[in-house]
Structure 1
Amino acid sequence: MKKWLLLTIISAFALVLAACGGGSGAKSSEDYTKENPLVIKFSHVTAIDSVKGKSADYFAQLVDEKTDGRVKVEVYPSSQLYGDADELDALMSGNVHMIAPSVTKMVKLDPRWQYVDMPFLFQDAEHVQAFFDSEVAQSLFKADALASNDIMGKAFWPNGFKNFSSNKNPLVKPEDFAGQKFRAQAGKVLEAQFKALNAGSATISFGETYAALQQGTVDGTENPHNNFDTMKFYEVQKYYSTSAHGRLDYAIFVNKSFWEKMPEDLGKLVDEALAEATTYAQGLAADENAKSLEKIKSAGSVEVYEMSQAERDVLKEAMQPVYDEFADVITKELIDGIEALKK
């Protein structure tokens, strides 16, 4: 009798746990209010007034409006929580729930993410957008390397085409790069890019790049107009060339476990907000980069050289060894898929 009673109590307790989410800690949307919201920690490394910074803040605003304050996105810009080297690990461990890294930061999980560093792979902004909207891009999000590390890819946010800058001399012809050292993001493709130009590279976190340029640790760097502007690199660089040789784009990644435990109705609203913020980011990038180029020109401290397509073609030919070395790493399928989207 005692045994039967004990089993009955255990069974009843199990049913209660199941009704409450099986003890998993899952909550319903009713558990979240303005006073006790679901908090999403969103960490990124760029300035508040950058394309990424403005888009992240817009996303937070949309989430607040759509959920009536029941979900709060806490945005931490300018490496306030984590820098370039740490934010991916922070996401995987759940210390933050959302990041927007330069896509090349994902190379430690999947080398194909270095596609943006392949010289002159993208023709123009329309070509980039066609890629973002394609199944080719989605295939990167669907890779096992993300899911197995508790990561989910959600969206692409553009920044812009990268341009070379230097403190030594204008950078137009391949020989202009010889002997100089450039700050670059981590990655073998970028190392090969500068090697093809007889230059060196150093991996330095984005937040420390200004000081590295100021102190002469490196001679130059590569950035979209907006990053060069908002990080005030024009204060510590003398020459800037509109080479448009590579891309610096971001992708939104979230902690998979956290995202999937979000109450379904709130998750749907958050995803709607992210879709709208993505459209906003895509329009903002072009406008902000155009404004930033004019600001760089008007600063008076930098000599801006606007390169012709013929001059870019000469640089592209000099960087052909990068394709010879890394076509198999990035994969022919991905490179050909991107090439096929050109109009």
Structure 2
Amino acid sequence: MTYTRLSLAALLAAGLLAAPASADVKWTFGGINPPGAPVTQASKRFAELVTERTEGRVQVDFYEGSQLGSGPAQIEAMAVGAQEGYISSGSNASNLVTEFGVVDIPFVFEDQDHFLAFMESDLAAGLQQRLRDEFNVRILATNWFRLPRVFLTKESCVESPEDIAGKRARSPNLPMFVAGWEAIGTVPVTIAYGETYMALSQGVADMAESAGEQVFSSKFYEVLPYVTDAQMMYPQNSVYVAESAFQQLSDEDKAIVTQAAEDAGDYFVSLVEEQTAPNRATMEAEGVTFCEMSAETRAAFAAKVADSVPAFEEEGLLPEGWWDQIQAMK
């Protein structure tokens, strides 16, 4: 897929970046998660906060459940100015800036603090700058922290890499995610998020992964009732906005919108904390089995990924030297 690079200079020349508007503006934001998911609830809160705090100068209409298309389609639409915003996985930006896929490398981060050290690093800041300058996409907030990614399987929990060797694993259409599944021995099958439940029900894939809080709202557990706390990745959601739309706001409204994105992120985290225990109890009552993954098993998976680093670099998915820099952030 080819994406148009839209520098700020080009946008100005095309008239897409104008002086701050005095008239009210309406933004179209999209997501891919179902109505009850915490990220959907928090996205709606973001829309409400923006409209309320700007006294209607900026109105956000949020469309849930892939109504505006798949994640890759929505972020591409933002890049060309056809959609103002998108709220979903922080790694979706890798469809535009490939190196954002580093957060999709399985077992690269030792724990949440290690992941946060990367997110606060100059490496991550440089990626955000490229996203704005080359693709017209600004990241407003990254503090929508999700629970670590788990494995979902059909017949038993995952106790070793051999347990999933050769299994068909559902994957989003993100290059690093696909490469990561291959690195740990599975056969990735790219399936759009909104089509995953049906695909799993039909046996198109044997297993899947999910951010921990999303297992319940996605209902994947109805098809894959074994949930292994693999801590495969430490995901977060990002609030993306088209730079051309953002630059049309007054400085006051830019600050309001940015703060609303951060506040909605805090709300998202609180929802996850509140819902985790009762949702797990409900799933256990319906026959779901939850398993921990040992440190030794995680280390075995991490070793397989480390062996694939030269291939990641050769394919242009990971800049040379980044692996060592990220490991030094522990």
TM over 0.5: yes
1:158 equivalent to 2:124? Answer no
- Deviation, structure 1 residue 176: 0.8
SS of corresponding position for 2:92:
helix
1:331 equivalent to 2:319? Answer yes
Partner of 2:133: 147
Aligned length: 313
1:316 equivalent to 2:302? Answer yes
- Deviation, structure 1 residue 208: 0.3
- Deviation, structure 1 residue 298: 3.4
Listed as ranges, the gaps of 5+ residues in structure 2 are 1-14
1:297 equivalent to 2:284? Answer yes
- Deviation, structure 1 residue 25: 6.7
SS of corresponding position for 1:64:
helix
Letter in 2 for 1:62: L
CA, structure 1 residues 173+262, in 2 after alignment: closer, same or farther (shift >3 Å)?
same
2:161 & 2:286 partners in 1: Cα distance? 27
- Deviation, structure 1 residue 330: 1.8
Moved more, 216-225 or 56-65: 56-65
2:49 & 2:235 partners in 1: Cα distance? 25
Q: Does the aligned pair in 2 maintain the 1:60–1:72 contact within 8 Å? A: yes
Letter in 1 for 2:258: D
Partner of 1:121: 108
1:240 & 1:194 partners in 2: Cα distance? 17
CA, structure 1 residues 330+89, in 2 after alignment: closer, same or farther (shift >3 Å)?
same
Moved more, 321-330 or 97-106: 321-330
Give the aligned CA root-mean-square deviation in angstroms: 2.6
Identity %: 26
Letter in 1 for 2:196: T
Partner of 1:230: 217
Q: Does the aligned pair in 1 maintain the 2:225–2:289 contact within 8 Å? A: yes
CA, structure 1 residues 296+315, in 2 after alignment: closer, same or farther (shift >3 Å)?
farther
CA, structure 1 residues 139+85, in 2 after alignment: closer, same or farther (shift >3 Å)?
closer
2:123 & 2:305 partners in 1: Cα distance? 24
Deviation string for 1:248-277 (max 9, x for gaps)?
A: 332222111111012332222222222322
Letter in 1 for 2:134: S
1:23 & 1:169 partners in 2: Cα distance? 53
Moved more, 113-122 or 263-272: 263-272
- Deviation, structure 1 residue 215: 0.7
Q: Which has the larger radius of gyration?
A: 1
SS of corresponding position for 2:229:
strand
CA, structure 1 residues 177+253, in 2 after alignment: closer, same or farther (shift >3 Å)?
same
Partner of 1:89: 76
- Deviation, structure 1 residue 212: 0.5
CA, structure 1 residues 303+23, in 2 after alignment: closer, same or farther (shift >3 Å)?
closer
- Deviation, structure 1 residue 136: 3.5
Partner of 1:52: 39
2:17 & 2:308 partners in 1: Cα distance? 49
CA, structure 1 residues 254+337, in 2 after alignment: closer, same or farther (shift >3 Å)?
farther
SS of corresponding position for 2:56:
coil
The equivalences for 1:173-192 within 5 A come to 173-192=160-179
SS of corresponding position for 2:72:
coil
SS of corresponding position for 2:71:
coil
Q: Does the aligned pair in 1 maintain the 2:17–2:248 contact within 8 Å? A: no
